[in-house]
Structure 1
Amino acid sequence: MSDFLKLSGKTFVVTGVANRKSIAWKIAEMLEGEGAKVVYVVRSQARKESLTKLLSGGEVHICDVEHEEEIAALPSKIAANHQVIDGLVHSIAFADYSEGMRPFHETTKKQFLQAVDISCFSLVALSNALKELFAPNASVVTISISTTRMASENYGFMAPIKAALDSSLAFLAKSFSQFSQVRFNAVGPSLLKTSASAGIPGYVDAYLFAEQAIPRKQALQTEEAASVAVFLLSPRSSGIQAQNLTVDAGMSINYFDRDIIERTMNK
């Protein structure tokens, strides 16, 4: 193993694994393939039990980020086995669409604040809780989206939440710079085929459209986004700070593709 990414022997905390389709799972799998140690954090006992079945003796802790006491307890659980953490993968997001999609202006305060708490503030809270365990040059990577300016109805109210997440990167990087060189970045993938996305009303149609809008006519693969996350976790990306790296296979350059326009206008 050449260890080009310099990840061998390092320890990373990965949150948000739901199953083998999760981007967090792909990231963890790649990290372990590079010789790194992965500490998994999930939100419930049920998730822990299902993840443990997929792992061969992996370390899994429970932390529901909606509960401050569980976040506060997490560092001591990890510190029992690890003196230093070289990075954190924040792959946590939730929005309550149980009543279906509504126009954005009908979003309720409860829905919006819960989504901010779980999907955005949890990055701040976890980073703060784990700061004493972070290596001086640790890397924190969160999972965002390719654009927060596309007002897509089928994404509900999550784009503004992700915009807050992206903005938080700069403020976390600045505040952590007072005592460390910890980096904060995001991967911004276009539409992915994950179990979480499958639960979003209308997502499948948007995914199929993305396949047409992407120049290669193939949607972004979860592994492609995960690879960028692993790069950002590595010392090889030491010059990248407070950025959202868009990974969309060129979709953003091709919305006015001739074939798409012709099909639309000839309906």
Structure 2
Amino acid sequence: MSTETSNLPTPHRILAGKRALVVGIANDQSIAYGCAKAFHEVGADLALTYLNDKAKPHVEPLARELGARLFLPLDVTAPGQLEAVFDAVRETWGGLDILVHSIAYAPKEDLKGGLLDCSAEGFARAMDISCHSFIRMAKLAAPLMADGGAMFAMSYLGADRVVPNYNVMGPVKAALEASCRYLAHELGPQHIRVHALSPGPLMTRAASGLKDFDRLLNDAISRAPVGELVDIMDVGYTCAYLASPFARRLTGSTLYIDGGANIVA
């Protein structure tokens, strides 16, 4: 069973005055919510997005709880919405310090089958939403990070090795991790750092779409040297540290937040 990170002491306000855009909150179990909550605890100002009108009632109370300065709709497949979010950030703050991309999607029929059975359309849609949208965000965010900044995307162990039933999302997340490395190289001269974070299995709405997910959770507990699952705040605090000046010369990495499970065969 996972240790509750809510019992941890409140960290120093290492992100006081920093401006963070967090994309991907669906509910209070979302990894993106853990990141936003951690940022809030250490002093950052927040801009949050919600997918659509159906998602808004679930996310809006969380935005109020965290005192988000901006709360905006964002469907990365809808023409103009991504640009509108960054226009609002520019108009409200004049700049940006932190970007978190925590969205992923594959059509259910393509996710449920093996990679050989994935349609071209399904593969392209998964790649666009789960990977290329991060590149598009980075292009819009970089001009707003005049004094440098940090960008984060969420990956999973299935990007690096075969995880049963992860299917098409494995190659897609591998492309996302490679994109983070290339963006870190391109944006490094602007003092913008880019990381992929790879949490262990978490009980999120997105994960519920994977076949035999309970087996993944049990396997993670048995393999992790610490003998526990991670939770969304473990991811959030890691993200907050990496966004802080204490990690100013770290970039281009894929960081595993999984209790060490990734080191065990």
* TM-score, length basis structure 2: 0.88
For the aligned residue pairs, the C-alpha RMSD in angstroms reads 2.1
CA contact (8 A) 1:5 1:234 kept: no
Counterpart mapping for 1:160-239 below 5 A: 160-177=171-188, 180-239=190-249
Dislocated runs of 4+, deviation >3 Å: 1-5
Q: Percent identity?
A: 25
SS at structure 2 position matched to 1:186: strand
Distance 1:153 1:96 in 2: 18
Distance 1:33 1:149 in 2: 32
Distance 1:172 1:212 in 2: 35
**1:16-60 residue CA offsets vs partner (Å, 9 max, x unmatched):** 000000011011111111111110022213323321123325321
Shift of 1:68: 3.9
Structure 1 spans left out of the alignment, 5+ residues: 256-267
- Structure number with greater Rg is 1
Deviates more, 1:7-16 or 1:137-146: 137-146
CA contact (8 A) 2:158 2:169 kept: no
SS at structure 1 position matched to 2:136: helix
CA contact (8 A) 1:147 1:188 kept: no
Distance 1:205 1:30 in 2: 29
SS at structure 2 position matched to 1:12: strand
Distance 1:252 1:54 in 2: 32
SS at structure 2 position matched to 1:117: helix
CA contact (8 A) 2:97 2:149 kept: yes
Is 1:83 aligned with 2:94?
Answer: yes
Shift of 1:73: 2.1
Shift of 1:132: 2.2
Counterpart mapping for 1:1-267 below 5 A: 4=12, 6-56=14-64, 58=68, 59-98=70-109, 101-177=112-188, 180-255=190-265
Corresponding letter in the other structure for 1:252: N
SS at structure 1 position matched to 2:197: strand
Shift of 1:171: 1.7
CA contact (8 A) 1:48 1:61 kept: no
Corresponding letter in the other structure for 1:89: V
Distance 1:48 1:233 in 2: 27
How many residue pairs get aligned? The number is 254
Shift of 1:105: 1.1
